[in-house]
Amino acid sequence: MSDSRRYKIVLWIVWAQLALLPAWWCMVYLIPNNLSWRWGLDVWVFIVGFLLGMFGLPLGRGLDKPQFLKWWLRIDFSVTAILLLPVLFICSAFIPTTIAEDGEYIIYEEDGIVANRNAYLARKSGLLMKTIFDLSPYEGGRLKKDSYCFDNDRGVFYGSKTYNIRQNGSRTWVIPINKDKYAKNKQYINNLIESIYLSHGEWIDNDNATFIMPNCITRIDYSHGNIQLMDSISCEISYDDTDSLKIYFYHPLSKEIGFHNDSVPRMSPTQVQNFIEKLRGEIQ
């Protein structure tokens, strides 16, 4: 059996592969769901371990080595060569790309499979990122500097992005990055939400927007004309019918209420919150 430097390198490749597999598994499965690795370190660990299978067989050619090692290198090389392009294509979809960054905060995207792009607002924590908010649906491209703002003093992130992928549209957010500061500055946040809604109302009523109200951290989503409200109440305001407006209460009530379209105008986030609170009081 050879004791040359080349033989030792081959052994190092085999042992490195065997070590990287459990390392990758731990990186993926032993961290909380709201944490992810910066720069896709877990994906790169998998890619490096996978690609090592391409080098063992060529380096070990002609060396005196055990039969088991010979078959291991042949099988490893064959599997790697066959799956190389599919694995690299799939893995590339899970390597995060930075969209915007400000101090300890970062917005990053993952392409996903079959163009299912996702974007997340996160806080940096060493080699990890802690997800604060899922910004989906996100239609790709890059946020421009004048399209978003991280207001650390008031604990708020807000922004609006227009796009023309498949159809013209927009995506708007006003969400907390620090809930204590966000609630403490509720008057400012409420005014900001109303201002952004009024300046983007034409887009928002037909596309996607998320507003987190500072009192009780109520989430209000506008989605292609319909509105969802989620906190201690869970309901949806649907404008799908041309003549009527329907409100579906899911939690804690289970009820459907109908109005004529003309009786309830389009509402800003503050108006939605007040309207639903009043309506819930009337039907309880």
Task: Please give the Cα distance from 92 to 102 (Å, whole number).
Answer: 25
Tokens of 54: 């391409």
The residue behind tokens 């490096």 is 48
Question: Is the predicted pLDDT of residue 217 greater than 70, yes or no?
Answer: yes
**Over 80: is that where the pLDDT of 267 sits?**
yes
CA distance 235 to 227: 8
In this prediction, residue 136 carries a pLDDT of 75
Quote helix, strand, coil % in the chain, to nearest 5: 45, 30, 25
With a CB cutoff of 8 Å and minimum separation 6, the contacts of 46 are 20, 24, 91
Distance CA(276)–CA(213), nearest Å, equals 13
Is there a contact between 248 and 238 (Cβ–Cβ < 8 Å)? yes
Query: What is the Cα–Cα distance from 167 to 111, expressed in whole angstroms?
Result: 19
Which pLDDT does position 41 carry in this prediction?
Answer: 96
pTM: 0.79
Lowest mean pLDDT segment, chosen from 194-198, 200-204, 215-219: 200-204
Q: Where are the domains of the chain?
A: 5-92, 144-283
Please, what is the average pLDDT of the chain?
85
31, pLDDT greater than 70: yes
Q: Which amino acid is at 61?
A: R
In tens, the pLDDT along 168-185 reads 567 889 999 999 999 999
What is the C-alpha separation between 9 and 6, in angstroms, rounded? 5
pLDDT-wise least confident of 83-87, 240-244, 280-284: 280-284
